[in-house]
């Protein structure tokens, strides 16, 4: 969980600093979250690089007319206070303009995917 929070904050700070790419520590969960962000077009791509015992992901940030693809992110679950939602209670983000990312028994899913699958889970963050 800490690695996901770290990755999301690094990506947000990379956008704020107008960087082309950022490096984040990579785990299975972080990789699954990055795949969802690529699918939702909040980042352009990422590449997993292993050097020795470290596994890092180089995340390519995207811009549209000098405007970042990601406007903001709000962390919902924190290490000391996890937030779980049933499938019916998963919140909409900015009336559908944003995406909620959850960890479920079926893996990392967006809010709409979790509702369709009928599963709830831990709401990690919302992004728009």
- Residue 27: pLDDT band with limits 50, 70, 90: very high
25 torsion bin: left (phi>0), alpha (psi -120 to 50), beta (else): beta
Average pLDDT over residues 85-107: 95
pLDDT tens per residue across span 43-93: 999 999 999 899 999 999 999 999 999 999 999 998 889 999 999 999 999
Burial status of residue 118 (CB atoms within 10 A of its CB: 0-12, 13-18, 19 or more): exposed
Q: Is the pLDDT of residue 6 over 80?
A: yes
Structure tokens of 48?
């997993």
Q: Which domains can be identified in the chain, with CATH numbers?
A: 2-68 (3.30.1370.30), 73-127 (3.30.1490.10)
What is each CA distance from 97 to 16, 21, 44, 94, 101, in whole angstroms? Answer: 20, 24, 18, 5, 14
Query: Does the reported pTM lie above 0.85?
Result: yes
Identify whether the C-beta of residue 75 lies closer than 8 Å to the C-beta of residue 33: no
């Amino acid at each position: 969980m800490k690695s996901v929070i770290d990755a999301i904050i690094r990506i947000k700070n990379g956008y704020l600093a107008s960087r082309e790419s950022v490096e984040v520590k990579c785990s299975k969960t972080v990789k699954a979250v990055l795949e969802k962000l690529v699918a939702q077009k909040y980042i352009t791509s990422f590449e997993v690089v292993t050097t020795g015992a470290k596994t890092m992901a180089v995340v390519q940030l995207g811009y549209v007319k000098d405007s970042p693809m990601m406007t903001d992110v709000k962390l919902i679950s924190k290490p000391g206070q996890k937030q779980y939602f049933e499938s019916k209670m998963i919140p909409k983000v900015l009336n559908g303009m944003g995406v909620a990312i959850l960890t479920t028994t079926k893996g990392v899913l967006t809010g709409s995917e979790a509702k369709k699958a009928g599963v709830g889970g831990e709401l990690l963050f919302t992004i728009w």
